[in-house]
Structure 1
Amino acid sequence: MEPNAIRMKAIAINFNEIRVYLSKNYYNGISSKFYLKDLESDELILLTGDALDSSDDPDFQKYAFHVSFHMGRVYKIVDAYGLTCFLDFSYLSMCKEFDELYFYEGDDLGNCYTREKTTFKVWAPLSTGVILKIIKDGKDFLYPMVRGLKGVYSYTVEEDLENAHYFYLIKHAGNYDISMDPYAYAASSNGRTNIIVDLQKLSMPPHQLPPLEHKTDAIIYETSVRDFSMSSTSGMKNKGKFAAFTEPHTSTDSGNPTGLDYLSCLGVTHIQLMPINDFATVDEKNPSELYNWGYDPAQYNVTEGSYVTDPNDGYKRVYEAQQMIEFIHSRGMRVVLDVVYNHMHDVNMNALEKTVPHYFFRRNDDGSLSNGSWCGNDLNTTAKMCRKYILDMCKRWQVLYGVDGFRFDLMGLIDIETMKLIDAQGKALDSSFLIYGEGWNMMTALAEDKRTTIQNNRKVPHIGFFNDFFRDTLRGTNQMETKGYFSGDTYKTNDAMKAICNLDMFEYISQSINYVECHDNATCYDKFQISNYDEDEETKKKRLRLLLAAVILSQGIPFIHSGQEFFRTKGGLQNTYNAGDQVNALDWNRKDFEIDTVQFVQFLIHLRKNNPCFRYADYDMIRANVQLENIDHRMIQYKLHQDDGEYQDIIVYFNASTDSVEVDVEDGYTVLHHTEKGKIIDGKLSIDGVCMAILVR
């Protein structure tokens, strides 16, 4: 429709109030009377109300009328000259009464398939009609759905619809719009239709992993489904697919393990997968043409088709993701799923907006979209049905796919109450469930005290946060030239001690996700090429090893970016979300070149796993058993005691300066590790510059 040609529009702004907008180019915007016409009964009601001051609007004269109407019926407004327009109900979703009137508690939205029949239900309380379109055996079938309580439209088709395709035609203000099903289980390529599958054929066997006694027992390794296998060096056949994770005995050009064989040997406990739900900017039929990390969700409810061997096969959409997770479980590792419940790729093109306009996306006081995500929209997580939808989808990923935790992208945009409910739901299903996310304080249209930010961590004591103080102190900020303690800024020695054992930042130490590198921003290797440009390559790598050691041995939960353990590079680029496979694909041959560092990381992970002093679960244990000391304003002494484990006492020395520092060693200590193979001589040990040592007793 040409906007400049609109002569009249009518909007229900409350459940007993209508606003009519009459073009000032049409009889100067003046009409002596208006009627409300019920198209079902043909009843014509004369409206009484007032013209509003419209001096601030150059295009329309505004009128306000108080009148009652029935939701689900089709109405037109008629002016004194016979001009008509449909009454638009879509703005009612922003009324404070809307949730009370239309919140639906049922767990039966979407399609419920049996061989004999399939029942479809969609929550669309503002619509004036919904048509179900089924595509089966090359033929189209249309079924008008029946409006029920709380604005839920339903229809049952009495035949076997397995593998049939479908979508909804939803009517708002006289126009039908095509919408996918927000609760569907599968879709065809690029989200053209949803597909009906038999869930009885897709049940997951329960995994038998031992319980996670403490969250601090976790060691998280982040990777992307596509990046993990895409390189020619991966040795995997199903490049960029879920199926690559199920391939055994894959190897580099030199014959060394890659894939899950490698990760299970590395020793990490949790694989964090970057988003695997359907995202918008990769053509699923031509996935090599475009690249994206996946933080642009199109459908929350189905898997990304470019990761499936056949994106038009509804069963493979589910089954291949299930298989990937099952294979990871079989290697003794858990799966954390990166979820993006803070925004969607296109506010107008997704099923949430099309089924219930203006409801699922947060608004500013003036009605404009909130944009704390910097992606054009924020999900309205305090709206009851939006909150329920997020909870329902989280439960689906946990129950149908078997995930063991969630990493929340831009978690600061999500309200605290929603996050607490997600955490409680996850723990009720699995006591070992892990939830953490980005707690940045974004400028969204939600009160700051209600945001799940790192500043509000004490309000969500069971949810973890990426610790940017840890990152910036030990590595330097995201500005490439800045230095942290381990890149040589020894003025930060005291802050580095605080980062390694942070007693003040969180309610519980298990909330601290200790990281210096993730998919965002430059890799540490690339950053050190800039911040430490005046040092030779080997010195930079020594610093990177110290940084890895600090991540793995600090109190809290360690987080490693895939390839960090063999100095991953993205050629100096930072935000590589669409930079392509050449930049983002994991170069497995680099692992072979840096095998000494990989083995060092394996040693550190083994040390952490076998000595609980590195993963104390509460502050009282840390205060009683951990001491840190600043040695000569340049070196950190990290001293730990434990009653159980390989050793009774452990001392870790981190020397990020370029100077050697000599320390006195108590009787009974031996050197477990020393970067320069140093030895204790006459009760003294020299810790060389850019070096670390681990002593045990």
Structure 2
Amino acid sequence: MSSTARRPGRRLAAVLVLALGATGLLTAPTAQPAHAAPSAPQPALAQWIDRDTVVWKGAEPSDAQLEFDTGRAGTAGKRLRLTPGRLTPAERAAFPHLSGYPAFTVDPRDRGLARTALRGALVAAQRTADGRRTTTGVQIPGVLDDLYGARARHAALGPVFHHGRPTLSVWAPTARTVALELDGRTVPMRRDDRSGVWRVQGPRDWAGKPYRYLVTVWAPTVGRTVTNKVTDPYSTALTADSARSLVVDLDDPRLAPTGWAGLHKPAAVPLRRARIQELHIRDFSVEDRTSRHPGQYLAFTDRRSDGMRHLKSLAAAGTSYVHLLPAFDGATVPEKRADQDRPRCDLASYAPDSESQQECVTRAAARDAYNWGYDPLHYTVPEGSYASDPEGTARTVEFRRMVQGLNGIGLRTVMDVVYNHTAASGQDPHSVLDRIVPGYYQRLLDDGTVATSTCCSGTAPEHTMMGKLVVDSVVTWAKEYKVDGFRFDLMGHHPKANILAVRKALDALTPARDGVDGKKIILYGEGWNFGEAANDARFVQATQRNMAGTGIATFNDRARDAVRGGGPFDADPRVQGFGSGLFTDPNTSPANGDPAAQRARLLHYQDLLKVGLTGNLADYTFTDTADRRVKGSQVDYNGAPAGYAAAPGDALAYADAHDNETLYDALAYKLPQGTSPTDRARLQVLALATAALSQGPALSQAGSDLLRSKSLDRNSFDSGDWFNALHWDCADGNGFGRGLPPAADNKDKWPYAKPLLADPALRPGCATIRGASAAYRDLLRIHATEPAFGLRTAAAVQSQLSFPLSGKDETPGVLTMRLADLAIVFNATPHPQHQTVAALAGHPYALHPVQAHGADRTTATASYAEATGTFTVPPYTVAVFHRR
């Protein structure tokens, strides 16, 4: 895997949970044999890419044929003749990963059979030179797009109401029949042969009723024709546990909370200035004793709860968005509270370094109320387990009330969306898309198996109708739920064109027509480059470098690794970085190397951080620590260019997020164990400052300002409330010492974790926690009130931002930055540091008034000597000075 591919470990574990049948609460859709298959399932090495062309990996350059049988009289033994051919330039551009395989041309006399052939069992067959007959399955997404995509992409799918009457539509071009199951009866649906869409219009009294589609279709994964009872991929509402879709009009006034139509939103903050708090809905309130709706959407309406008061304080300081981890309908959590399991142990009674907590939590994990939510089932319906009642439309109303509640305290809302994979594929009960159009919505490898590089069953947004689903779903969340931004999970597995299509569709939304201003909606995502799509193998990806200049940000892992040290997948978690003591306060890990190696690596980390502070600009020019004039793109990051952004706003800075250890836990591993709680807190704030005071957007994990710990859990996607819940009341601690983290993803780190968790000195007290939070809010205030942190262009950054002491004599562990009339010193060392900028001698600077009169009295002692241009900064401190 590429060093820049930060694929979270949560996903592999999620696959294992699903494979073990841990979430079987859905009413299992039936698969009734309708026609015996001519052969058992087999690899699909042939790919029918358009009506004219088939590509067949491993075939011989001689005549072949496509054989099909729809199960209807007269189709058995039918065929489409194939002759050796070659891909056109347009076909090679559309399917670059197939350009080296043998190609065949469909005989023009047989092309009229294509639509019929695609609705039955289909194989490619050839006689080899020695007379043997070889066959293989056939992948069909390309030809489906060619035959149906142009018309289907404009179809309105799902329930659509006109004058109170609903029309239900589903795209199922390969289905033999589709019917609607509603009111205990089966209602036939009519097929549009030009688009492959099946429709039925119903009377007004269908509104609110549950339904499913009955889709009779050839299913290659089981090698037979089946009749699947399946929910609507375009569902607007669901019954509990996603058993049925509901015929619901999201514009129904009864679903609008009071004040919804005229909702007053906080002023939109441009992406380049956004300060984002990443938050899991259940974590936020499930252990908040002051919340009246623990673990629910409605917790965000509890204006007096500890959690809401804290969010309000962050908003007042300069946080502009709350990023909600996935809140769409997922496959994992039982939605009815009566069905949810919980740990059946007295977890608090065990020792802080005990294995018992994780054992007990793990036993309940398969059916408890907890999951991060990266297991999509229905992309455009709120998750039911967060609602007061998962049955019906309460989840719709309460999600909207959550948005209202956040807007009401000054925060706009970002939604984490996961269109790159589904929870399952094939005939699995948790598969929706693949049981309606088998083999289309999932990305298939060259042998026909589903790609799983995302951890789960990968989707194919490069296909017309999967790409359409992404755009339509995002637009629905924006219009109907007034979501203000979207974070795309594993965005590098999307085509760049697909993400730009989302941007274009949002930009078209207007307040007058749609109730929202789509141009003010922000977009960002994980631009990692890995898997079967890596290096633009199948399409131009939405990766870090490719998205530069689009106004859509990607996560910047360069500065993250530099401030923390090492990388998320280090075997030894004690590898240090700029903010964790490398060279200046070394720990005992041999992984850090000798002092000379540490010093060299620390100085390189400082160059990475400089690039990060510019907004990770590729063309920003500065003097590096080797005294060379370099561009950001010339600084090395594990063999890749560090700088890749074209403008501020292309890269999103962060020091921690839900994946991997929290920042506090990473520092617990990396700092010498004897580091005092006060110093740990100061370094936490300094690490957060490298993101908070950068150009471009920045994100922090909820609770990081409160020194949040997950007891060293690096992958808490299914670790339950015990390890994940936020503790707004410092009397409850910060989460550290709740036992050894779950074995599945952490056992190899237990030898390092155990002595730390047993050490009471690593559990900070209230004064330390409150002090860190207050100091962080001071940084947010400085960012919010100083225009220089929101420079619009790369040219402005180049002219107004500099590192005057950078070069071969740079102080290890200290960064000094000038930004317009500001001077900022990051002192990550255990000693006071004097930074003399000779060019500023005689110029009047003083500590910024927010810090001079702020919460951190140690920072308030930072000083400036005008005569020499010398800034003096205490240990473990970031100090901002302004020109008087």
- The two structures share one fold, judged by TM-score above 0.5: yes
* Contact 1:72/1:147, CA 8 A, preserved across alignment: no
Deviation at 1:163, TM superposition (A): 1.9
Which residue matches 2:187?
143
| Paired residue type of 1:601 | Y
Q: Please state if 1:231 is matched with 2:287.
A: yes
> Structure 2: where are the runs of 5+ without partners?
1-30, 55-66, 82-105, 123-135, 219-224, 343-367, 510-517, 583-601, 619-642, 735-765, 852-857
Q: Please state if 1:605 is matched with 2:780.
A: yes
* Contact 1:129/1:171, CA 8 A, preserved across alignment: yes
Q: Please state if 1:392 is matched with 2:452.
A: no
Which residue matches 1:596?
771
The 1-side partners of 2:335 and 2:120 are apart by: 41
* Contact 2:317/2:777, CA 8 A, preserved across alignment: yes
* Contact 1:660/1:689, CA 8 A, preserved across alignment: yes
Among residues 291, 315, 327, which one is paired with 2:405 in the alignment? Answer: 327
Question: Which stretch has the larger CA shift, 115-124 or 334-343?
Answer: 115-124
* Contact 1:635/1:654, CA 8 A, preserved across alignment: yes
Taking structure 1 as reference, are residues 152 and 496 closer, same or farther at Cα in structure 2, changes over 3 Å only? closer
- TM-score by length of structure 1 reads 0.84
Deviation at 1:678, TM superposition (A): 3.6
| Paired residue type of 1:483 | Q
Aligned length in residues: 636
Which residue matches 1:340?
418
Among residues 133, 147, 163, which one is paired with 1:101 in the alignment? Answer: 147
* Contact 2:141/2:440, CA 8 A, preserved across alignment: no
Which residue matches 1:530?
669
Taking structure 1 as reference, are residues 170 and 46 closer, same or farther at Cα in structure 2, changes over 3 Å only? closer
Taking structure 1 as reference, are residues 472 and 76 closer, same or farther at Cα in structure 2, changes over 3 Å only? closer
* Contact 2:310/2:728, CA 8 A, preserved across alignment: no
* Contact 1:190/1:283, CA 8 A, preserved across alignment: yes
**Identity within the alignment, %:** 26
Q: Please state if 1:567 is matched with 2:707.
A: yes
Q: Secondary structure at the match of 1:454?
A: coil
Among residues 538, 541, 548, which one is paired with 1:451 in the alignment? Answer: 541
Question: Which stretch has the larger CA shift, 616-625 or 517-526?
Answer: 616-625
Which residue matches 1:689?
875
The 2-side partners of 1:48 and 1:691 are apart by: 75
Taking structure 1 as reference, are residues 681 and 70 closer, same or farther at Cα in structure 2, changes over 3 Å only? closer
Q: Secondary structure at the match of 1:364?
A: coil
Question: Which stretch has the larger CA shift, 388-397 or 207-216?
Answer: 207-216
1:461-484 CA deviation, whole Å, 9 max, x = no partner?
221011000100112222321222
| Paired residue type of 2:232 | D
The 2-side partners of 1:127 and 1:622 are apart by: 56
The 2-side partners of 1:74 and 1:546 are apart by: 61
Q: Secondary structure at the match of 2:116?
A: coil
| Paired residue type of 1:634 | G
Q: Please state if 1:542 is matched with 2:682.
A: yes
Q: Please state if 1:194 is matched with 2:245.
A: yes
Q: Secondary structure at the match of 1:178?
A: strand
The 1-side partners of 2:398 and 2:297 are apart by: 6
Deviation at 1:366, TM superposition (A): 2.0
The residue correspondences of 1:28-107 to structure 2 (distance < 5 A) are: 39=72, 42-43=73-74, 68=113, 71=116, 94=140, 96-103=142-149, 104-107=152-155
Structure ranking higher on relative contact order (CA contacts 8 Å, 6+ apart): 2
Q: Please state if 1:371 is matched with 2:452.
A: yes
Q: CA RMSD in A?
A: 3.2
Which residue matches 1:128?
176
The 2-side partners of 1:226 and 1:468 are apart by: 27
Among residues 523, 530, 547, which one is paired with 1:442 in the alignment? Answer: 530
The 1-side partners of 2:120 and 2:370 are apart by: 46
The 1-side partners of 2:659 and 2:119 are apart by: 49
Taking structure 1 as reference, are residues 94 and 640 closer, same or farther at Cα in structure 2, changes over 3 Å only? same
* Contact 2:686/2:878, CA 8 A, preserved across alignment: yes
Which residue matches 2:799?
624
The residue correspondences of 1:385-424 to structure 2 (distance < 5 A) are: 385-424=465-504
Among residues 282, 305, 320, which one is paired with 1:269 in the alignment? Answer: 320
Which residue matches 2:818?
639
Deviation at 1:560, TM superposition (A): 1.1
1:251-277 CA deviation, whole Å, 9 max, x = no partner?
37xxxx646544434431011000000
* Contact 2:682/2:772, CA 8 A, preserved across alignment: no
Q: Please state if 1:292 is matched with 2:340.
A: no
Q: Please state if 1:582 is matched with 2:675.
A: no
The residue correspondences of 1:114-263 to structure 2 (distance < 5 A) are: 117-135=165-183, 140-149=184-193, 150-173=195-218, 174-198=225-249, 199-201=251-253, 202=255, 204-205=260-261, 207-209=263-265, 212=268, 214-233=270-289, 235-251=290-306, 258=309, 260-263=311-314
1:512-537 CA deviation, whole Å, 9 max, x = no partner?
11101000000111111111134222
Taking structure 1 as reference, are residues 639 and 179 closer, same or farther at Cα in structure 2, changes over 3 Å only? same
Taking structure 1 as reference, are residues 43 and 259 closer, same or farther at Cα in structure 2, changes over 3 Å only? same
The 1-side partners of 2:68 and 2:650 are apart by: 60
Deviation at 1:49, TM superposition (A): 9.5
The 2-side partners of 1:561 and 1:73 are apart by: 48
The 2-side partners of 1:215 and 1:695 are apart by: 25
The 2-side partners of 1:35 and 1:546 are apart by: 65
The 1-side partners of 2:185 and 2:243 are apart by: 16
* Contact 2:651/2:697, CA 8 A, preserved across alignment: yes
Deviation at 1:153, TM superposition (A): 1.2
| Paired residue type of 1:537 | P
| Paired residue type of 2:554 | F
Question: Which stretch has the larger CA shift, 567-576 or 343-352?
Answer: 343-352
The 1-side partners of 2:278 and 2:529 are apart by: 23
The 2-side partners of 1:617 and 1:532 are apart by: 37
1:41-71 CA deviation, whole Å, 9 max, x = no partner?
x557775899xxxxxxxxxxxxx99974763
Q: Secondary structure at the match of 2:454?
A: coil
Q: Secondary structure at the match of 1:481?
A: coil
Taking structure 1 as reference, are residues 73 and 613 closer, same or farther at Cα in structure 2, changes over 3 Å only? closer
The 1-side partners of 2:38 and 2:562 are apart by: 60
> Structure 1: where are the runs of 5+ without partners?
19-33, 51-63, 78-89, 642-648
* Contact 1:115/1:160, CA 8 A, preserved across alignment: no
Among residues 555, 563, 574, which one is paired with 2:695 in the alignment? Answer: 555
1:529-564 CA deviation, whole Å, 9 max, x = no partner?
111134222222211111122221112211111000
